[in-house]
Amino acid sequence: MSGANRIPGAGRLTPAKTARFFFDGKSYAALEGDTVASALLANGVHLVGRSFKYHRPRGIVSAGAEEPNALIGVERDAARKQPNVRATVQDVFDGMKVISQNRWPSLAFDVGAVNNLLAPFFAAGFYYKTFMWPKQAWKHVYEPQIRAAAGLGVSPTEDDTDHYSSRYAHCDVLVIGAGVAGLSAALAAAKTGARVIICDEQPEVGGALHYDKSVTVDGQDGFTWAQGTAAKLAKMDNVTVLPRTTAFGYYAQNFVGLNERVTEHLAKPDRKLPRERLWQVRAKRVIIATGAIERHMVFANNDRPGIMLASAARTFLNHFGVAVGKKIGVYTANDSAYEAAFDLKRAGITVAAIVDSREKPGEGVLAEARSLGIEVLTGHGVVNTSGKLRVSSMSVARNGGGAVRKIAIDALLVSAGWTPSVHMFSQSRGKVAYDNETQRFLPGTYAQDCLSVGACNGTNDLQATIEESLAAGELMSNASGFTASEKLALQGSNAFAWTGGMAGAAEGAGADTTVKAFIDFQNDVCAKDIRLAVREGMHSIEHIKRFTTNGMATDQGKLSNIHGLAIAAETLGREIPKVGLTTFRAPYTPVTFGTLINHSRGELFDPTRKTPMHALEEAQGAVFEDVGQWKRAWYYPRAGEDMHQAVNRECKTVRDVAGIFDASTLGKIEVVGPDAAQFLNLIYTNSWDTLKPGRCRYGIMLREDGFVYDDGVVGRMAEDRFHVTTTTGGAARVMNHMEDYLQTEFPHLNVWLTSATEQWAVIAVQGPKAREIIAPLVEGIDLSNEAFPHMSVREGKICGVPTRLFRMSFTGETGFEVNVPADFGPAVWAAIWAQAEPMGACAYGTEAMHILRAEKGYIIVGQDTDGTVTPDDASLGWAVGKKKTDFVGIRGLRRPDLVADGRKQLVGLLTKDPKVVLEEGAQIVADPNQALPMTMIGHVTSAYWSENCGRSIALALVAGGKAKIGQTLYVPMPDRTIAVEVSDMVFFDKEGGRING
């Protein structure tokens, strides 16, 4: 037996196919195809959670995606725990572990329920008002406490072991929703040969046919017709049918995000399958067939377990074969709830009474109720309920007051009418329009190539829905360039046309400020909270929403928004459309981070770039650092060395002997063409006409505003060919910058730009023995100082492979940069290392490189400059061609602020205590004894211990810095103030003789 409340012969599940699952540790029987909700109800379990704010006992409200209450945790193992799953959409699988949330120590006895008694202190806006002062207390006391006490589910702490897939799809017609409307539209569209995708959030198609057993289509039972139609569509080559797939976001240009749940319903999923699949669909046309969602009635204590939507009770009976109670009541303002009572009555359940707030229900349903012997109380309201953990009675009174009659029940079905699901339409930026006659927001002005059909379009009648949908399917296909040979026709019938509906507080919600008549179950918002918000001055619906948090929970107010709006409008004395509707946002229902992040996690989060010599450096013991996407050798510790010792040794070795360094990450751009020099004249501040082939020059590049953008050494390989280098981080943007000017501002220049960053492996060999190290390996290049002076470039061979050999230095030592085609990098590195090692040279990393260049006062763009530094500020004024009439940045450089006195300039800093190393980013003041807040005159940009200088060194940007050389300034730190002397930027080999060795 799969639950005592299973009605034999009712529902569509197979009694023989059973499954067992655990709810809070207790084992229950279920049937295959059950949701957690239907299985719990079959076992008579209504209490499934505690509410967020008041910790009130809560049950299952709906049978679908709109569920606000029944949020559960589903655990497969320690890593795969999913919190906040709606019990109404999660299939049961054998062995499943389900836990309730937001209760302690147990669901039936919850300490937090004391909040319910303290409710007068928890009015809307309470958090904003109470916990804002003192400021520190919010962060350290209030917020952690509130989060611990409230909070919904608990996230797993282990990494998700599931994987998720993603795919793009293009189609002519995307149909969202596979109820009668969606299936009809898809049929008509598919017949034209158009590529059709139809998706539905439920495991099976059918939508409202899950509960409405009275419907027939084409002479068949509605649900049977739907399954047959889906099967027929799935067989067609031009159609993709996606069940368990939610269209969660509608973006620009008919781009729709779908979330397909692939294995969520399986007991033992094949681990090769993705758990969920993200579909990014580009549709020429979209048909929205998302139906409508039933609203609950707003009255006192309308949130007890056992109080649920009438359509939900009908779904549980007609689809799952489960009776939600033995003696039910109905409270409605709409005809549809009557049919729930009829179905239950026919299944042998006692219907205590139908309470209808209207004086005049639909005649058809009223007559049917009478013939079934059901008592109908028109013009009445439910003014209260009782029952601690499940509803046990409803108190009924005539509208406007009078005697109260208490009726014993164990379930109460409610319906205030139906809200068309305009979420997708609204997300597409369509404007909804209020229909006064039916008091509904319906699709108004369309912004994209889509059409709404059926209940989401306000079409109630079944046959009208079918015809509207068939026509839409054909129309949208035609618009995509497809036509059908013949028209499709389908005939539908159902039992009753539904009338009625209301929005806002019903009889019994009262104006009383103590009555808890809930409109938003998930965020515990009552009718009185909306009224309070209005009284406190919130007049815009967006303000009311934020003040009360109505509609801000994970269900996004699918049940509550219209009620909240109606109550606000009534309190404000304005019409509903004048108050306005809050904006619908994606996602329609919650989507896992796994689906959205998809493959972009772990190693695939961001590409990793490795230089050709990476493996060799690893073998040499390198520790790597991330520089953008690059992995760069940071330092090479030897046995017993910490970072500091290793770096000191590397710095010392380079200046005493030599060092080899992987400089492959430098950006490299090949600039070629008859106008190449002229182009570089415009891009750089320097002049390039005078640079002879075979020579190099340090170039500065500005933005049009006059600030330093990038720098690097440029070698002229031939009259019409330059080898340009950029900073590691600037490679891509400098290329873009050059392409931009070449294509759009200087298109008359005959120049080609080619990124060559990854084509060249670059090995810098620096130090007094650099020449000696490479000499035996080089062919065809005279390496003597006379033939190959500093800032030259030659082409020849090294280790038998072609090289562009640069004589240049970022250390101040005699230096070479060996460029070889990337694939030869490792072999050449190994050969150079074989020469270098016996001489006592070392491999050095980026940390030593940074220190060595700072010892010489060479700047790093982006570290010592910050986008507000001019060449002159950085003492690089010499690199600006004074005779030039144009280059990018020439006019910016002349702006008044850029030539004014007192600009921050790059200078050196020497701490009075040579052992003290400054902190990069530390602020600098002239007078450490001034009152707070102090006037800061600059900051430290680079600071290191220099083993070669035997002291600390630093670079800093200081206002009027060059004029302050020799003066004492101060760097205030939390624990002390450090005195520094301003110096020039060169700390080692001030004469610069070593570079020409």
Partner 1 sequence: MLLIYCPYCEEERSELEFRQAGDAHIARPTNMTEMTDEDFEAFFFLRDNVKGLTFERWRHLNGCGRFFNAARDTVSDKFLTTYKAGLPRPDLSTLRPATEAIVETYEATESDAK
**C-beta pairs of 742-746 under 8 Å, 24+ apart in sequence:** 742/679, 746/679, 746/682
The verdict on 170 binding partner 1 (CB under 8 A) reads: yes
Say if CB 596 and CB 278 are below 8 A apart: yes
The stretch among 76-84, 415-423, 662-670, 740-748 that binds partner 1 (CB under 8 A) is: 740-748
Q: Residue from 149, 890, 898, 963 that binds partner 1 (CB under 8 A)?
A: 890
The angle at the Cα of 956, spanning 953 to 958, to the nearest 5 degrees, equals: 140
The stretch among 152-160, 245-253, 543-551, 927-935 that binds partner 1 (CB under 8 A) is: 245-253
The verdict on 252 binding partner 1 (CB under 8 A) reads: yes
The verdict on 896 binding partner 1 (CB under 8 A) reads: yes
Q: What are the beta bridge partners of residue 440?
A: 435
CA distance 541 to 131: 24
Q: Residue from 461, 542, 689, 745 that binds partner 1 (CB under 8 A)?
A: 745
Say if CB 947 and CB 890 are below 8 A apart: no
Q: How many binding residues for partner 1 (CB under 8 A)? A: 31
The verdict on 486 binding partner 1 (CB under 8 A) reads: no
Q: Residue from 77, 739, 779, 984 that binds partner 1 (CB under 8 A)?
A: 739
The stretch among 330-338, 403-411, 894-902, 972-980 that binds partner 1 (CB under 8 A) is: 894-902
Closest distance to partner 1 from the beta carbon of 22 (Å) = 38
Spell out the alpha helix ranges (H) of 295-419. 310-318, 336-346, 363-371
The full DSSP string for 869-888 is --TTTTT-GGGS-TT-S--T
The stretch among 57-65, 147-155, 336-344, 891-899 that binds partner 1 (CB under 8 A) is: 891-899
Tell how strand 721-726 and strand 708-718 pair up: antiparallel
The verdict on 136 binding partner 1 (CB under 8 A) reads: no
Nearer to partner 1, 128 or 752 (CB): 752
The verdict on 740 binding partner 1 (CB under 8 A) reads: yes
The stretch among 136-144, 248-256, 574-582, 923-931 that binds partner 1 (CB under 8 A) is: 248-256
Q: Residue from 240, 357, 595, 726 that binds partner 1 (CB under 8 A)?
A: 240
Nearer to partner 1, 704 or 779 (CB): 704
Residue 960 CB-half CA count within 13 A: 12
Rg (alpha carbons) of the chain, rounded to whole number: 38
The stretch among 71-79, 123-131, 311-319, 888-896 that binds partner 1 (CB under 8 A) is: 888-896
Nearer to partner 1, 897 or 975 (CB): 897
**Token pair for residue 961?**
């810095």
The verdict on 585 binding partner 1 (CB under 8 A) reads: no
Closest distance to partner 1 from the beta carbon of 252 (Å) = 5
Closest distance to partner 1 from the beta carbon of 743 (Å) = 5
The verdict on 747 binding partner 1 (CB under 8 A) reads: yes
Distances (CA, A) of 73 to 152, 227, 647: 10, 31, 52
Say if CB 281 and CB 255 are below 8 A apart: yes
Closest distance to partner 1 from the beta carbon of 447 (Å) = 6
Say if CB 852 and CB 649 are below 8 A apart: no
Nearer to partner 1, 284 or 939 (CB): 284
The verdict on 823 binding partner 1 (CB under 8 A) reads: no
Say if CB 393 and CB 384 are below 8 A apart: no
Q: Residue from 705, 720, 758, 795 that binds partner 1 (CB under 8 A)?
A: 705
E strands, 687-772, are: 696-702, 708-718, 721-726, 752-755, 760-766
Helix, strand or coil, per DSSP, at residue 185: helix
Nearer to partner 1, 414 or 708 (CB): 708
The verdict on 891 binding partner 1 (CB under 8 A) reads: yes
- Amino acid found at 484: A
CA distance 39 to 608: 48
Q: What are the beta bridge partners of residue 71?
A: 86
CA distance 995 to 977: 37
CA 364 to chain centre: 50
Nearer to partner 1, 193 or 914 (CB): 193
Closest distance to partner 1 from the beta carbon of 168 (Å) = 7
Closest distance to partner 1 from the beta carbon of 430 (Å) = 11
Q: Residue from 58, 195, 213, 853 that binds partner 1 (CB under 8 A)?
A: 195
Distances (CA, A) of 358 to 6, 311, 377, 400, 458: 33, 19, 9, 12, 21
The verdict on 704 binding partner 1 (CB under 8 A) reads: yes
Residue 440 CB-half CA count within 13 A: 23
Nearer to partner 1, 279 or 320 (CB): 279
Map residues 443-462 to x or -, x wherever contact with partner 1 holds by CB under 8 A.
----x---------------
The stretch among 17-25, 252-260, 409-417, 497-505 that binds partner 1 (CB under 8 A) is: 252-260
Q: What are the beta bridge partners of residue 700?
A: 711
708: Cβ–Cβ under 8 A, 6 or more apart, which residues? 700, 701, 702, 861, 865, 867, 869, 870, 871, 874, 876
E strands, 77-218, are: 81-86, 96-100, 165-176, 196-199, 216-217
The stretch among 246-254, 574-582, 899-907, 987-995 that binds partner 1 (CB under 8 A) is: 246-254
Q: Residue from 127, 131, 138, 251 that binds partner 1 (CB under 8 A)?
A: 251
Say if CB 58 and CB 50 are below 8 A apart: yes
Q: Residue from 12, 80, 429, 951 that binds partner 1 (CB under 8 A)?
A: 429
Closest distance to partner 1 from the beta carbon of 729 (Å) = 17
Closest distance to partner 1 from the beta carbon of 480 (Å) = 10
The verdict on 744 binding partner 1 (CB under 8 A) reads: yes
The verdict on 886 binding partner 1 (CB under 8 A) reads: yes
Closest distance to partner 1 from the beta carbon of 183 (Å) = 20
The verdict on 267 binding partner 1 (CB under 8 A) reads: no
The stretch among 247-255, 612-620, 772-780, 857-865 that binds partner 1 (CB under 8 A) is: 247-255
**Token pair for residue 203?**
């495991």
Of residues 719-738, those binding partner 1 (CB under 8 A): 736
Q: Residue from 237, 437, 975, 991 that binds partner 1 (CB under 8 A)?
A: 237
Nearer to partner 1, 329 or 706 (CB): 706
Closest distance to partner 1 from the beta carbon of 988 (Å) = 39
Say if CB 417 and CB 309 are below 8 A apart: no
Tell how strand 81-86 and strand 71-75 pair up: antiparallel
Q: What are the beta bridge partners of residue 221?
A: 216
The verdict on 599 binding partner 1 (CB under 8 A) reads: no
Q: Residue from 166, 227, 280, 554 that binds partner 1 (CB under 8 A)?
A: 280
Closest distance to partner 1 from the beta carbon of 242 (Å) = 12
Cα distance between the two ends of the chain: 94
Nearer to partner 1, 32 or 705 (CB): 705
Q: Residue from 436, 743, 785, 930 that binds partner 1 (CB under 8 A)?
A: 743
For the beta carbon of residue 511, count every other beta carbon within 10 angstroms.
Answer: 10
Q: Residue from 27, 136, 885, 929 that binds partner 1 (CB under 8 A)?
A: 885
What is the DSSP code (8-state) at residue 985? Answer: S
Q: Which residues of 104-139 are buried (b: 16+ CB within 10 A; e: fewer)?
A: eeebeebebbebbeebeeebbbeeeeeeeeeeeeee
**Contacting residues toward partner 1, per CB under 8 A:** 168-170, 195, 237, 240, 251-253, 255, 280, 282, 429, 447, 704-705, 736, 739-740, 743-745, 747, 885-886, 890-892, 894-896
